[in-house]
């Protein structure tokens, strides 16, 4: 049995304790500077207040000040931060990590460079250090609540070394947590990062339907039309990122689960009713909207590529409209620009 | 303004009257031998009893005996039958059609030939006659109820002649009914035919979740995992059919709407609880389950290709399990055979 140290005790990082502990491993959860209350509560009675689940036997909670103790003897380090914690993990944590112990990151998203290119977090981490650490990542459709409830889940672990990925997979795989491996880091990460902007886009149709009906009745033709357009544009983005085209299946699966997954759906639905962004944000006050940050980032990258003449705006009408909405415009889906 | 004659007055054929009449055209609905009660009711007060909507002004109902009258002066003929009506349309109707008037078919599905190949309905119709008639078809995510409610909908009209397709499109296109055109008949039809088997597959996860929870609570990780695997296998089927790979977006959109669209979801959910097929069919007694026929047909074609050594069974684990369920086995998703 092994020790796995998870840095960042948010919902997804903590939910991974379920398959790990079911396999008999010890999971050391280390709180980020934002996780003080979570770690205190877990130390008290193993209840995770934002995941809203009691964590399984085998979980130990550590304050960040105890990081080096928590890393002692670890076979794997999980980077459990959201994309807001990217810089913190890169600047404050990686310098404190031991060499030779692989890192597996749960953070979804891409970083847009000045030239419009999008790179994955494992690549950002790699570029930030001279240490001999392999950076891997998890992609695929998985909400933390359902993983904690042991719903059947299929994900992909991506990294450069297939043998190491197989070893990491062996720590996690259970009958309900199915793990594939891929060396196409750019493809996997790009596919799952895209889905944030597009889950917002598909959710717009929910709000449009609510508004028209005057009650919470959903129509699906319009959601499906936006799902169609999303898959079409995601395939183009995948190509732009240099990811393998097979990854569109991961992206479509992740889009599906995200449309039903809570926060992105909520903001998309509100915006779909015609509510302006600031009012919608106020309505959801206090909720972390990582998806908006990722959507803006993807938009920024595509706009740079358009400015450089590398792609045409008519290839991304839905993404660009999401960008307009995030800039304050009201919803007005450009249906006629979708080429079925 | 034009006359459009719709042969077969089921839900989808009749729902097309909404965009057509909104554009000012006259729609002549001709009942199939199964549509007697529907036609009587429409003639009485324009209410469509299975679509459960009052049809718009501009619709006229015709008994089948009046087919030739209904065809007089028509600019377009719509084949409005389900796949159960394929042979009837081919053998009884096509010989009675005038030459030179294009046909647009709403029937989704493919026909499996002896050698395992799958061909589209327009191709079957073409091969059945020497008449000079162009056969076109509608693909894409669209449920009839929502089209009748004028929800935003995007579909693709496919056929051989792009100019003729543009003319047909002009009859239908409204602000809510968005129509693209494609000359990749095989690709469009294959993409949307596949979705029946896979919508059943994704719905299995709903029943599995209900069973585990003991109440109607859905989990989405497992649905998304099956959605992922469905898109993966649909891409392979599309290639086998010789359809363009871009059509996967149409297939994914159609899969999305079908998972929410009623009958396929109902049978999949029941089967997902572990109920055997015969009991599930009894529970849904009387409901037309076209999707099961199409799912069986796709299965049969893939099995023939496997027997011929042209494809490997490990490329279609989900489709083959759907086939097993339709042969009477209980649900037991082969998670480990999905390669993420």
Report ipTM for this prediction: 0.94
Computed from CA positions of residues B4, B8, B9, B14, in that sequence, does the dihedral angle turn out positive or negative? negative
Whether residue A158 lies within 8 A of chain B, CB to CB, comes out as no
Domain with CATH 1.10.1040.10 in chain B: 193-337
| Nearest-by-Cβ selection for A227 from B142, B182, B252 | B252
Whether residue A223 lies within 8 A of chain B, CB to CB, comes out as yes
In chain A, whose CA is at the least distance from the CA of B204? A152
Pick the residue of B201, B218, B224 with the most A CBs within 10 A to test the interface with A by mutation: B224
- As beta bridge partners, residue B139 has B156
A residues 284-303 near B, CB within 8 Å?
none
Domain with CATH 1.10.1040.10 in chain A: 192-337
Chain A residues in contact with B155 (beta carbon < 8 A): 340
In chain B, whose CA is at the least distance from the CA of A143? B221
User: Fold for domain B193-337?
Assistant: 1.10.1040
Domain with CATH 3.40.50.720 in chain B: 3-183
Task: Tell me the pLDDT tens digit for each residue of B58-82.
Answer: 999 999 999 999 999 999 999 999 8
Closest by CA to A243, choosing from A303, A194, A304, is A194
Chain A residues in contact with B254 (beta carbon < 8 A): 224
Q: Which of A90, A195, A266, A303 is catalytic?
A: A195
For residue B329, how many C-alpha atoms fall within 13 Å in the half-sphere facing its CB?
9
How far apart CA B30 and CA B106 sit, in angstroms, is: 15
How far apart CA A263 and CA A200 sit, in angstroms, is: 9
Pick the residue of B137, B151, B176, B321 with the most A CBs within 10 A to test the interface with A by mutation: B151
User: Fold for domain B3-183?
Assistant: Rossmann fold (3.40.50)
pLDDT bucket at B292, cuts 50 / 70 / 90: confident
For residue B10, how many C-alpha atoms fall within 13 Å in the half-sphere facing its CB?
20
Chain B residues in contact with A180 (beta carbon < 8 A): 338-340
Q: Which of B195, B211, B266, B296 is catalytic?
A: B195
Cβ distance of A225 and B149 shorter than 8 Å: no
Task: Tell me the pLDDT tens digit for each residue of B166-218.
Answer: 999 999 999 999 999 999 999 999 988 888 899 999 999 999 999 998 999 89
User: Which value, in Å, is the radius of gyration of the alpha carbons in chain A?
Assistant: 20
pLDDT digits (tens), chain A, 340 positions: 999 999 999 999 999 999 999 999 999 999 999 999 999 999 999 999 999 999 999 999 999 999 999 999 999 999 999 888 999 999 999 999 999 999 999 988 788 888 878 888 999 999 999 999 999 999 999 999 999 999 999 999 999 999 999 999 999 999 999 999 999 999 999 988 888 899 999 999 999 999 998 999 899 999 999 999 999 999 999 998 899 999 999 999 999 999 987 788 999 999 999 999 999 999 988 666 778 888 888 899 899 999 999 899 999 999 999 999 999 999 999 999 998 7
pTM: 0.95
Residue B131 is given by DSSP the state S
Query: DSSP labels for A253-321?
Result: HHHHHHHTSSHHHHHHHHHHTT--HHHHHHHTTT---HHHHHHHHHHHHHHHHHHTTSS-GGG-HHHHH
A296 flagged as catalytic: no
Architecture of the domain defined by A192-337: Orthogonal Bundle (1.10)
Give the containing element (helix H, strand E) for B14. helix B11-15
Whether residue B206 lies within 8 A of chain A, CB to CB, comes out as no
CA distance A33 to chain B (A): 30
Closest by CA to B305, choosing from B291, B292, B319, is B319
């Amino acid at each position: 049995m092994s020790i796995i140290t998870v840095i960042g005790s948010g919902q997804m990082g903590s939910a991974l304790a379920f398959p790990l502990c079911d396999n008999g491993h010890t999971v050391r959860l280390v709180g980020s500077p934002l996780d003080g209350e979570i770690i205190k509560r877990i130390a008290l009675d193993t209840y995770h207040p934002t995941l809203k689940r009691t964590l399984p036997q085998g979980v130990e909670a550590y304050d960040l000040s105890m990081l080096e103790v928590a890393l002692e003897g670890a076979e794997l380090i999980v980077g459990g931060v959201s994309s807001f914690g990217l810089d913190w993990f890169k600047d404050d944590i990686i310098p404190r990590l031991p060499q030779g112990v692989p890192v597996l990151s749960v953070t979804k998203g891409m970083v847009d460079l000045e030239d419009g290119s999008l790179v994955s977090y494992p690549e950002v981490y790699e570029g930030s250090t001279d240490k001999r650490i392999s950076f891997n990542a998890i992609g695929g459709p998985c909400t933390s609540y359902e993983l904690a409830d042991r719903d059947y889940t299929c994900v992909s672990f991506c990294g450069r070394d297939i043998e190491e990925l197989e070893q990491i997979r062996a720590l996690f795989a259970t009958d309900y947590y199915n793990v594939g491996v891929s060396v196409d880091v750019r493809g996997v990460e790009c596919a799952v990062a895209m889905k944030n902007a597009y889950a917002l886009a598909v959710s717009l149709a929910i709000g449009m339907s609510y508004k028209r009906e005057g009650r919470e009745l959903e129509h699906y033709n319009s959601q499906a039309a936006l799902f169609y357009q999303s898959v079409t544009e995601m395939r183009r983005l995948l190509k732009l990122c240099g990811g393998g085209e097979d990854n569109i299946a991961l992206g479509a699966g992740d889009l599906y689960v995200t449309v039903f997954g809570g926060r992105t759906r909520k903001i998309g639905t509100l915006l779909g009713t015609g509510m302006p962004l600031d009012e919608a944000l106020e309505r959801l006050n206090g909720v972390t909207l990582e998806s908006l940050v990722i959507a803006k980032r993807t938009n920024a990258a595509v706009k740079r590529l358009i400015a450089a003449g590398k792609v045409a705006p008519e290839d991304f009408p839905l993404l660009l409209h999401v960008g307009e909405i995030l800039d304050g415009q009201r919803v007005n889906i450009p249906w006629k620009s979708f080429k079925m």
